[in-house]
Chains A and B, each alone.
Chain A
Amino acid sequence: MNLLTAGLPSTAIPLFAGLLDAPVGVAHYLVVGAILFTSGVVCMALKRNALGVLMGIELVLNGANVNFVAFSSPYLRGEGSASLGLDGQLIALFVILLAAAEAAVALAITLNFYNNHATVDIDQADDLKG
């Protein structure tokens, strides 16, 4: 026990009690991933700026990446349970690469949109409205 956590009951609900002294597990990462993912989705849903939407996409991908890495991590692996091994990391790598490519393409779309509509407000991008 250490100074910081000494005062806390060790039998409290795991989420808070073990935060400082309990080892970090996959679930921790998943929570982070979920928050990133949700932030990204909300960002996409909220931002009228096309660049904001792009950033939301990046966040979503990043949230997914966190999950991949968590599942593949040798440190977070539970006893005797299987993990993704390197596969998770590799998939995360590919996601990163493709996200970069996606950013380039999306930027190209945005720029064309800007050239045509003189704005980056995606609410103006309703040419295909039914």
Chain B
Amino acid sequence: MAQLIDDDPRIIEFDVRTDEMLVNMGPQHPSTHGVLRLVLRTDGEIVSEVEPHIGYLHRCAEKIGENLTARQWIPYTDRMDYLAAMNMNLGWSLAVEKLMQYQVSERARHLRVLIAEMGRIASHLVGMGAYGLDLGTFSPFLYAFREREKILDLFEEACGARLTYSYITVGGLTADLPPGWLRKCEDFLDQFEPIIKEYHALLTTNAIFVKRTANIGVMSPELAIEYGCSGPVLRGSGVDQDMRRDGESIYTAMYDGYAFEVAVMKNGHYPRDHQYPPVPADAVIGDCWHRFFVRMLEVVQSMDLVRQSIDRYSACKGPLGEPVKLTEKIPAGDAYLETECPKGQMGFYLVSDGSAIPWRVRARSSSFSNLAVTHELCRGCLIADVPAIVGSLDIVMGEIDR
């Protein structure tokens, strides 16, 4: 045993020793994505332990949900993952619809796909830009926000809001798209497509970026599953799971007829539906680079889905349908549904006693689970790796603290 330990190459000792230091990273720190507080136990530049402290953004959202009708709670879901509010709306709406066994119209279904995927693009753009920021390069952040602004413009045109949309709602969507919107959306996609190459040049394939992310914060698939990670974080570790394909039928039915390939490394390669940059030699599956790369692939994937949904949506001639009444009674019972949000699998659970107001509301946050793995990933890394790892998890505190 002793022999074994001696030969363990992972254990390193230095002649020079310093004392441990407890450092607070956050809740006010440039790279903690909001009000996350990480307590680092450092020894020199080495981080020996990381403990995330959360709760700085707690707003009793679930409790509020138990005092509002289902549709009234929609704006609160906006404020969970405020970077992908559309997807939050969708998750809650579908959960309620599952309990009500409500079927939205075909037109609303395709529109929901369109909006949700656009929301995914917007969210991933923030994730990508902010990740560059975490690694000390500022420009990609602005490039990302430039494009995100265009998406927000489109959303604003559709629903009137730029951040908290409450657009998708129980029973459909609050309004149909304005005329000409699709045209603008297509224009945006056409214009956006070549820009992704720029992103790859600036970040994905940048030598320094690769050095900073490849082989950093490696998360094994087992670890990811154990911690309940989901979304790009899970797929970055090579686990082939996507709720849009593997979820419950009420959710997967939404994507019926859509062709997409889950962005995950299978058999040593990522989907080859588009021209992607090659995986650098240093990168190992499950590291920061792969998590980042999966997000970049999902942007392209979402663009494909948006294009498909535009075609389908325009082909639908029927009415969009009206959302349910604000005070619509929910049948007694409970329902739980997980949807694939940009950050991961977002689950909503509600128990109804038959009234319009749910008896219990609960949200399962993907970022919460993703953040929990931080202390595993950051053990023994350098301080500079902490933002790189936390950034690669792409967490949103609004969703975690609720």
Contacts and interface: CB of A to CB of B under 8 A. Distances in A.
Check whether chain A touches chain B (CB < 8 angstroms). Answer: yes
Interface of A: 111-112, 114-115
Contacts of A115: 15-17
Interface residues of B, number: 3
B44 to A, nearest CB: 13
A112 B15 CA distance: 8
A111 B17 CA distance: 8
Consensus secondary structure, chain A interface: helix
Interface string B11-44: 0000111000000000000000000000000000
A111 B16 CA distance: 7
Contacts of B17: 114-115
A70 to B, nearest CB: 39
Interface string B91-107: 00000000000000000
Nearest first, the 7 closest Cβ-Cβ pairs linking A and B are A115-B17, A111-B16, A115-B15, A111-B15, A112-B15, A115-B16, A114-B17
Nearest to B18: A114
Interface in B265-300: none
Contacts of A112: 15
5 contacts: A111-B15, A111-B16, A114-B17, A115-B15, A115-B16
Contacts of A114: 17
A7 B312 CA distance: 102
A98 B15 CA distance: 24
Nearest to A107: B16
B87 to A, nearest CB: 54
Contacts of B15: 111-112, 115
Nearest to A108: B15
Contacts of A111: 15-16
Nearest to B17: A115
A114 B17 CA distance: 9
